[in-house]
Amino acid sequence: MSERTTKVSEAGNQLSDEEVVSRVLGGELALFEVLMRRHNQKLYRVVRAIVQSDTEAEDVVQDAYVRAYTHLGQFEQRSSFATWLTRIAFNEALSRKREHQRLVEIDSIQESDEATMKFLKSNAATPEEDALAGSLGVMLEGAVDSLPESYRSVFMLREIEGMSTAETAECLDLSEEAVKVRLHRGRAILRREIYNRTGQASASAFRFAGPRCDGLVAAVLARIAACR
């Protein structure tokens, strides 16, 4: 972290989001960095749940921050700044996804091909995925990605980001009951998905082949020979 960043961070650490916003609007533009560092992970998780691409999620988060900065004067504090900012990011992600869908729909054949490739990709593990099959974090990310979008967004905010039902409802423009229902259904789907992924990985667990197998066979044969 640079000396400039450190100074900016120290200057804003003791301020609430709303106080930082007020000072940014008052001309202390550098303090906007404080808001970004506070909310980067939250926004990334929200956006990633929609676009399902690390690189694109970063692009969308950048766009969301620019939009928030240029419209900072419209923040009326009727909700928390975190909620206001999250809704901007969520809407940016939805807009980006709709744009992609519109472009894909131009060519129905291409759409069919892409859907087929997506299906094959989701059901065929790569060597890298096989190597990381024992990692709970990797398995969980893959399982969450497999959730329907409406469940994935709720799960990301409630379970991974730790937001309350009320906060999630406000960010996603849903009723609290809808959040509870989607979270319950998402959890059920996730449990099944993780169970399936664990079952697929279990066949490759505790392997005993190759040099290890050869070494054991050779050792046993040697011992048998010695007994003759």
Residues contacting residue 61 through CB under 8 Å, at least 6 positions apart: 40, 43, 44, 47, 89
The predicted-structure confidence for 80-113, as pLDDT tens digits, reads as follows 999 999 999 999 999 888 877 766 655 543 444 4
CATH code linked to domain 125-228: 1.10.10.10
**What's the confidence (pLDDT) of residue 166?**
94
CATH T-level fold of 1-107 = Rna Polymerase Sigma Factor; Chain: A (1.10.1740)
Do the beta carbons of residue 151 and residue 182 sit within 8 Å? Answer: yes
Is residue 228 predicted with pLDDT exceeding 60?
no
Percentage of the chain beyond pLDDT 90 is 40
pLDDT higher than threshold 80 for residue 134? no
Lowest-confidence range among 34-43, 68-77, 215-224?
215-224
Q: What is the pTM of this model?
A: 0.65
Residue 52 has pLDDT above 70, yes or no: yes
pLDDT of residue 118: 57
Contacts for 189 with CB less than 8 Å, ≥ 6 apart: 146, 147, 148, 151
What pLDDT sits at residue 15? 92
Find the range with the poorest average confidence among 24-28, 60-64, 99-103. 99-103
Residue 28: how many CB atoms within 10 A of its CB? 15
Note the pLDDT of residue 113: 47
**Mean pLDDT of all residues belonging to the chain:** 79
Ordered by start, the domain boundaries in the chain are 1-107, 125-228
